[in-house]
Amino acid sequence: MKTSKTWFITGASQGIGLELVKQLLQNENNVIAVTRNSEKLKKALNIDSAHLLALDMDITNEESVNKAVNEGINHFGKIDFLINNAGYGIVGGIEESSASEVQANFDINVFGLLHVTRAVLPFMRKEKSGTIINLSSVFGLIAGAGWGIYCATKFAVEALSEALDQEVKPFGLKVIVIEPGYIRTGFLSVESVISPKNTIDAYTELTEIRRKHQHDIPGNQIGDPIKVASTIIKTALLAEPPLRLLLGSDALQYANYKVEMLSSGIEQNKEITLSTDYTT
């Protein structure tokens, strides 16, 4: 007899989140799919399944998050896998980005992830079983002009995930950080990537970066969302999954560049680094 697993997925109405929901339902998994607009999700899926529980949730509101998590557990009895997928980008310079714009990005990409994780963990700890999959990005490893704020949120996800993995391992829980490159979804659309309201003309490079991401890259991303979603699911089901997983040849290229940059910088400054110890 097949035992269905239960997956809790945030940001489920579009992109990788939606593709994950589709593939999981095809294999008769239970899916608690949460989004700001569950009707949009149901319309996109266009299916009626007893394995699907679509819920509205405000990821920035702990009360809303706790309600959705409890409703999901009451409906299916458990949560085996949490996929923290919700997030969006802001493409703009550090000086251009207002305090409220930065706060809003962190509220969803970081604090929202924390709200959901904290809500799910007590149930997983009680069961001594569960896997948390956090959608980061290769830009959680390396930052570039115009993406400083978004990258900062993903750097935070990387650090939180690394620490969480060590904290929950004694309970039999697992943590996976997914680090994709560019994926051919609607992520670069106005719904998922915004620009600061007050741009600064002096930053001509940033103007070109925005133009490139609005017009040149969309539709040409190398990452296949179907393959990405399938790989995330297969990785989550491994008995011993990796803590970090890069997805895409571009992700590998960026990550290797960062490793080389770090190694070179460490070696070049090694003498200075060692000179600050107490002399014994």
d(CA 87, CA 113): 9
**Is it the case that residue 214 has pLDDT exceeding 80?**
no
DSSP secondary structure letter of residue 196: -
| CA angle 188–103–132, rounded 5-degree value | 70
Q: Per residue in 124-137, pLDDT tens?
A: 999 999 999 999 99
Q: What is the pLDDT of residues 223-260, one digit of tens each?
A: 899 999 999 999 999 999 999 999 999 999 999 999 99
Instruction: Tally the residues of the chain.
Output: 280
One DSSP character per residue, 17-52 reads HHHHHHHHHHTT-EEEEEES-HHHHHHHH----TTE
Q: How do strand 30-35 and strand 89-90 relate by DSSP bridges?
A: unpaired
Q: Tokens 């995930």 appear where? A: 161
- In the chain the first and final C-alpha atoms are separated, in Å, by 67
Whether pLDDT at 1 is above 60: no
pLDDT band, residue 187 (cuts 50/70/90): low
Closest CA to 29 of 276, 255, 236, 270: 236
Which of the residues are catalytic?
136, 150, 154
> The domain at 6-270 falls in which architecture?
3-Layer(aba) Sandwich (3.40)
Domain edges within the chain: 6-270
pLDDT at 190: 56
